[in-house]
A and B are shown apart, each in its own frame.
Chain A
Amino acid sequence: MKSANLLSPGLIKNGLRRYWPLWLAGFIALLLFVVLPAYVSVPMIVNSAENVADRTDSLNFFWSTMSFMAWVYSIGGALVVALTLNDHLFDSRAATFVGSLPLRRPAVFASTFASGMLVLVALPAVASLCLMPLCLALGLVFSPLRVVEWFALTVALSFIFYSFAQLSCHASGTRLVATLIYGVIGFLAICVEAAVRLLMSALVYGISSDSISFDWLAPAAHIVSILTLSYPDKSIPWAELAPYLLVACVAAVGAAWLFGRRNLESAGDGVLFAPLRRALKYLAGISLALLFGSVYRLLDTTDAFSGIPMGTGDLLVLAVLLSVGAFLGALFADMIMSRSTHVLGSCWREGLALACVMLAFLGACRVDLLGVGRYVPKTDEVEMAILTCDYGSDSMEIASPEGIDDVRALQQHLIDYGGAGETEQAFTIDVNYKLKSGRFVQRTYPILTNFPVTTLGDGQDSQLLREFAQIADSDEGRASRFSSVIELKDDTGVQIEYMLENGEYSSIYLRGEDASDFVSNVLLTDLMEERAGELFYQMTPDEDVVVYDAVAYVEDRRASQAEGYDVYTESLQLSEGTPHILAWLEEHHPEIELIKVEYDG
């Protein structure tokens, strides 16, 4: 019996056939996603064929761009496919038609889901097949495994976002609300976090908005961050994507559950359930208030990211914006959901209540009612303290209890100091803690200075800076400032690259024990002891060659053989602060003449 099947081939075929122009457009877009990174990257890859590091960079650029494109395709395609194939959720005539067909709800859901996934899988499959000959034609042999991996990534992301899109569609009765819910699922957490941090930075000394973590609660933002940050140097972060795949399965089941319980006559309604309607209204009010407040905060680009709180005049404007935003957000949400502009009479009380809540939030933050601004974690709660000063580019990771106590004392000192004031020139000290519970505490403190400082402790507010310098100059501090620890393995190689006077590059290669010895006893030693100086060396192997900069690449050859490059780079100017490297060059490469010159700025 046809109706007993879980999947309806007729419905699947129908779904695939009736929107073929849309699928074609999606395919062309996806092909462009493949061709454009190739167009940009392949010349770079070909040109850098002899330079391992450059070639690695170019390949990484290509594949990270491809993974980003997979994300763009998945997040957009999933929503479009879900919105188009689920006519019966948004159109009452379609709902009546589908409801009268001899199919159970699970069969309708499974058929719709399957036809959407077929589209989302088929397009990258064809694109992958096109990618291989394209790469070959451009004279570049890619590992087929990489192409398969990219295809798998695209399918996985498509499944994740398509499940979220299906859940959004099944929780609503209009395409607009479904899109809003999809946005909420994918991005709201990150947007709310960013907005809250912006506002908090306007109200509380020490809270900065320049470091927003891509929280897992915002899947879309988090996924793109782990793809673009993790992928280039390693490979596709399957382990980090796995939880999202599981959540996507739950979302798909949830969508099926909702479809089984929703009344088909709800097609065209804003939301299916009354509680969801109220929640969306409040959410919209709070979001719009945060948006208004954030935009106002961002208008002052100097202060927005410096951690300097707002003055009283600005706070009054902020209060008005927050309350108006909350009121309007609730009003607009009600208009969208009820599809009517006549909502003021029924909605003004809730809007007013929301406005009051936002004003209370503002007041509570300003007087630091929750103690966020005064919070200093206890030593035994802290796993690691991370200290950074914005004129000393390297951060320090302090793990010893004594060191953590020093950092806590510094933070308490900074809190007591109370900030630079909104009109003063300032630079910042970042005090961050990684707690044993896994949480992070991030604070940025702007402090006064009237002139640029080049050496720690030379600032006008010398007490704070000396305190900072004391921690920075400790053994632990100096070691952690160069914490990009270079792992030495059996096949590690070192490439020291330097530029010649004619603009070309030349390299010195080290392998095996030579490489280990250089990294351990020469490179790291100088990195650890590096001090800023105003003199540096030019090295000339003969009259017409001048080396003025050197870059050391440490390359994992085993990884490179599998086309997965694992390269650490340290770039440093040769100077009096790099005595070990200078000595090593004199001993091992006497043909390079070292000439001490005056630094001309």
Chain B
Amino acid sequence: MIQVNGLYKTFGEVRALDNLNMHVEAGSIYGLVGPNGAGKTTLLQHVAGVMRPDAGSVLVGGEPVYESPQVKERMSYVPSDFYFFHQARVSDMQALHASLFPRFDAARFGSLIAAYELDPHRQVRALSKGMQKQLAFCLALACNPDVLLLDEPLDGLDPMARHSVLGHVMEEVASRQMTVLVSSHNLRELADICDHVGIMQDGHMCLERSLEDLQGGFVKVQVAFAQGSDAVPQGLDIMHQEKQGRLFTLVVRGTAAAVEDLLTQQGASFINVLPLSLEEIFIYEIGGAQHEER
């Protein structure tokens, strides 16, 4: 559904995107993670058709998105800090979206703002930051988009609102096969909803996999050897290691079974495979111990 090929973007002397490639399948929820300054928002703004690529292409549904109203009509973009016109009331923003997005569903918008208890006659600036975010979601979902782009969608929302917003998004994905591209620092919540994950660093995509493959491709294991060896086990693609007494804690690339087999062959007397969260994968993949120390 979304295809990004060899994307470059430079701001002055800073290269924000550097030969970035990404593929998002239709109907999937794609989580975009990366450290601050990795280029996630820049990438989202390219996918939303806001920014013009220096080089490369961004295709949505097989069509270039930049300066393509036909493509943008089928997309909604909720940036981390949504813009509302000065003096606008909730109903004004509704009217504007209704006039621009042919698939805007006023009834759906009405039911959504009712669910969030938003008064259509209130001025937007009188709403709290969280309520403004909810309004942005209502507007985006009421456009019935095929592609929903979310940049830090849960920032500023209380737990109830987070739950509600994610619930509405999941509903849309389940019922209409909507594609969602979401960037967030809250990796635990991303792990709950995403089926694909892309990890970005320094403007390029380090890793792009399904969540299942990703979590299956890394192992956190505690191991000890009977002879009391201080040597690090050989033959493993170790991303991170710690040692306490005779006990090694290792984060390695590979499947749990393969790692267990290798350690057994090397005479391990104790092997304990631990679950690895998306956050841990992100931390060790991006920066390992140095990133932790920072």
Chain A residues within 8 Å of B, Cβ to Cβ: 1-4, 8-11, 13-14, 17-21, 87, 91, 93-97, 99-105, 107, 263-265
Is the CB–CB distance between B70 and A10 below 8 Å? no
Interface centre among A21, A102, A104 (most CB of B within 10 A): A102
Contacts of B206 in A (CB 8 A): none
Candidates A2, A10, A17, A105; contact of B67 at CB < 8 Å: A105
Interface centre among A1, A91, A94, A97 (most CB of B within 10 A): A97
* Interface of B: prevailing SS: loop
Is the CB–CB distance between B11 and A100 below 8 Å? no
Contacts of A93 in B (CB 8 A): 79, 81-83
A93-B81, A97-B83, A263-B51 as given contacts; A17 in contact with B92, CB under 8 Å: yes
As a 0/1 sequence over residues 52 to 94 of chain B, the CB contacts with chain A under 8 angstroms (1 = contact) are 1000000000000001011111010101011101111000100
Chain B residues within 8 Å of A, Cβ to Cβ: 11, 45, 48-52, 67, 69-73, 75, 77, 79, 81-83, 85-88, 92, 95-96, 98-102
- Name 11 A/B residue pairs within 8 A (Cβ), A-sorted: A1-B69, A2-B101, A11-B99, A14-B88, A14-B92, A93-B79, A93-B81, A99-B49, A100-B72, A100-B77, A101-B72
**Chain A, Cβ-Cβ closest to B98:** A10
Interface centre among A95, A101, A263 (most CB of B within 10 A): A101
Is the CB–CB distance between A18 and B86 below 8 Å? yes
Contacts of B49 in A (CB 8 A): 99-100
**Chain A, Cβ-Cβ closest to B93:** A14
Is the CB–CB distance between A14 and B51 below 8 Å? no
* Docked CA distance A99–B50 (Å): 4
Contacts of B95 in A (CB 8 A): 10, 13-14
* Docked CA distance A323–B96 (Å): 54
* Docked CA distance A101–B72 (Å): 7
* Docked CA distance A93–B98 (Å): 20
CB distance from B69 to the nearest CB of A (A): 3
Q: Which 3 A-B pairs have the closest CB atoms?
A: A10-B99, A3-B69, A99-B50
A3-B73, A9-B99, A104-B69 as given contacts; A99 in contact with B87, CB under 8 Å: no
Is the CB–CB distance between B72 and A18 below 8 Å? no
* Interface of A: prevailing SS: helix
Contacts of B51 in A (CB 8 A): 99, 263-265
Is the CB–CB distance between B96 and A10 below 8 Å? yes
Candidates A17, A96, A101, A105; contact of B100 at CB < 8 Å: A101
**Chain A, Cβ-Cβ closest to B74:** A102
Candidates A8, A97, A99; contact of B99 at CB < 8 Å: A8
**Chain A, Cβ-Cβ closest to B78:** A100
Is the CB–CB distance between A2 and B100 below 8 Å? yes
Contacts of B83 in A (CB 8 A): 91, 93-94, 96-97
* Docked CA distance A10–B69 (Å): 15
**Chain B, Cβ-Cβ closest to A2:** B102
CB distance from A100 to the nearest CB of B (A): 4
CB distance from B133 to the nearest CB of A (A): 13
A96-B79, A96-B83, A97-B83 as given contacts; A14 in contact with B96, CB under 8 Å: yes
Q: How many A-B contacts if CB must be within 8 Å? A: 97
CB distance from A350 to the nearest CB of B (A): 19
**Chain B, Cβ-Cβ closest to A15:** B85
Is the CB–CB distance between B72 and A102 below 8 Å? yes
Is the CB–CB distance between B69 and A102 below 8 Å? yes
Is the CB–CB distance between A102 and B79 below 8 Å? no
Interface centre among B70, B71, B83 (most CB of A within 10 A): B83
Is the CB–CB distance between A104 and B52 below 8 Å? no
CB distance from A392 to the nearest CB of B (A): 62
* Docked CA distance A105–B66 (Å): 10
Is the CB–CB distance between A3 and B70 below 8 Å? yes
CB distance from B75 to the nearest CB of A (A): 8
* Docked CA distance A101–B83 (Å): 12
Contacts of A19 in B (CB 8 A): 86-87
Contacts of A265 in B (CB 8 A): 11, 45, 50-51
* Docked CA distance A8–B101 (Å): 11
CB distance from B265 to the nearest CB of A (A): 54
Is the CB–CB distance between A8 and B48 below 8 Å? no
A3-B73, A102-B69, A263-B51 as given contacts; A11 in contact with B96, CB under 8 Å: yes
* Docked CA distance A264–B83 (Å): 14
Is the CB–CB distance between A100 and B67 below 8 Å? no
Contacts of A11 in B (CB 8 A): 96, 99-100
Given contacts A95-B50, A101-B72, 12 further A-B contacts (CB under 8 A): A10-B98, A11-B99, A11-B100, A19-B86, A21-B87, A93-B79, A93-B81, A97-B83, A99-B48, A100-B49, A103-B69, A104-B69
CB distance from B12 to the nearest CB of A (A): 9
Is the CB–CB distance between B45 and A96 below 8 Å? yes
Is the CB–CB distance between A14 and B85 below 8 Å? yes
* Docked CA distance A103–B49 (Å): 10
* Docked CA distance A256–B101 (Å): 24
* Docked CA distance A266–B51 (Å): 10
A93-B79, A265-B11 as given contacts; A102 in contact with B100, CB under 8 Å: yes
* Docked CA distance A10–B97 (Å): 8
Contacts of A2 in B (CB 8 A): 73, 99-102
Is the CB–CB distance between A4 and B69 below 8 Å? yes
Contacts of B50 in A (CB 8 A): 95-96, 99-100, 264-265
* Docked CA distance A264–B67 (Å): 12
Contacts of A264 in B (CB 8 A): 50-51
Contacts of B85 in A (CB 8 A): 14, 18, 87
* Docked CA distance A144–B268 (Å): 104
Candidates A94, A95, A102, A263; contact of B101 at CB < 8 Å: A102
* Docked CA distance A18–B70 (Å): 27
* Docked CA distance A19–B86 (Å): 8
* Docked CA distance A330–B52 (Å): 32
**Chain B, Cβ-Cβ closest to A262:** B52
Is the CB–CB distance between B69 and A18 below 8 Å? no
Contacts of B77 in A (CB 8 A): 96, 100
Contacts of A8 in B (CB 8 A): 99-100
Contacts of B86 in A (CB 8 A): 18-19, 87
Contacts of A10 in B (CB 8 A): 95-96, 98-100
* Docked CA distance A532–B96 (Å): 77
CB distance from A25 to the nearest CB of B (A): 14
Contacts of B100 in A (CB 8 A): 2-3, 8, 10-11, 101-103
* Docked CA distance A96–B81 (Å): 10
Contacts of B71 in A (CB 8 A): 102
Is the CB–CB distance between B52 and A100 below 8 Å? no
Interface centre among B50, B75, B81, B102 (most CB of A within 10 A): B50
